[in-house]
Amino acid sequence: MRIDVFTLFPQVFQPYLETSILHRAIKRQLVEINLHNIRDWTTDRHHVTDDVPYGGGGGMIMKPEPIFAAIEGVLGPKPNCPVVLLTPQGRLLDQSTAYELSAQPQLALLSGRYEGVDERVRQHLVSDEISIGDYVLSGGELPSLVLIDAIVRLLPGALGDPKGALDDSHASGLLEYPHYTRPAEFRGWEVPEILSSGDHARVARWRREQALLRTYFRRPDLLDMAELSEEDRKFLEKITQDEAAQDPTADRGD
């Protein structure tokens, strides 16, 4: 996979790309990430990339010329890969979006700054818009890195354990089960006995039930879309019937 990132602050990316899973994925040539400084594509003496907004008001707007020049200069006049603008106005990033984008052989990411980019960039250059959440950051660099991380860890060979991503929260629509490591007892708090029983089938069932419980109490909205077996459904029915007894926030109406 190839990812071209267009930004005014390429230096923000480097340390993260040189760390852990992303670093390994780049070294193994699972992904090639090219950083492009939009400022390098300005033609004026002062390398200006922003200007005041038409109609007045505060803040600066990223000018269209250097952005078009950078993206078309790198990808050609008609880019044949998705050109993704990171913006709080885009479709919300979730795990299925990450899977969808990880299947692309090539992506271009555009990180905004200031009040954002001139609208003509969005209308005539960008083909997709992604938000990493309903809040506003100062720039699109962190959102681009969030998107890159979410995508790259899904590429085959990126994770040490190839099955690692399968149980992750949101991979199958559930939140993941709780994890424990050594010591078996810490400050009197013990690891659930079943996890050291050596009975793989019981451990798998316990983990599945924990994932169902977590999702039911923390994110019940996810259950509508989750892939559930008959056994899962029966377990959830049992919890639903026991809800008043188990969930301290339940309103018993008395």
- The binding site for ligand SAM (CB under 6 A) comprises 86-89, 111-113, 115-116, 131-133, 135-140, 143
Q: Rounded to whole angstroms, how far apart are CA atoms 186 and 191? A: 9
CA distances, 173 to each of 67, 166, 215, 219, 224 (Å):
37, 11, 9, 10, 9
129 is catalytic: no
Q: How far is the CB of 139 from ligand SAM (least distance, A)?
A: 5
Q: Two tokens at 209?
A: 């039930």
153 is catalytic: yes
Q: How far is the CB of 245 from ligand SAM (least distance, A)?
A: 40
Annotated catalytic residue, options 10, 64, 122, 153: 153
Annotated catalytic residue, options 88, 113, 122, 143: 88
Q: Rounded to whole angstroms, how far apart are CA atoms 215 and 218? A: 5
Q: How far is the CB of 251 from ligand SAM (least distance, A)?
A: 34
Give whichever of 111 and 215 is closer to ligand SAM, judged by the CB atom. 111
Annotated catalytic residue, options 168, 176, 209, 232: 168
Give whichever of 36 and 216 is closer to ligand SAM, judged by the CB atom. 36
141 is catalytic: no
Q: Rounded to whole angstroms, how far apart are CA atoms 100 and 165? A: 15
DSSP 88: E
Taking Cα atoms as reference points, which of 81, 69, 77 lies closest to residue 36? 69
Give the residue at shortest CB distance from ligand SAM: 112
Structure-token match 């959440």, residue found: 133
Annotated catalytic residue, options 50, 115, 129, 232: 115
79 is catalytic: no
- Which positions are annotated as active-site residues? 88, 115, 153, 168
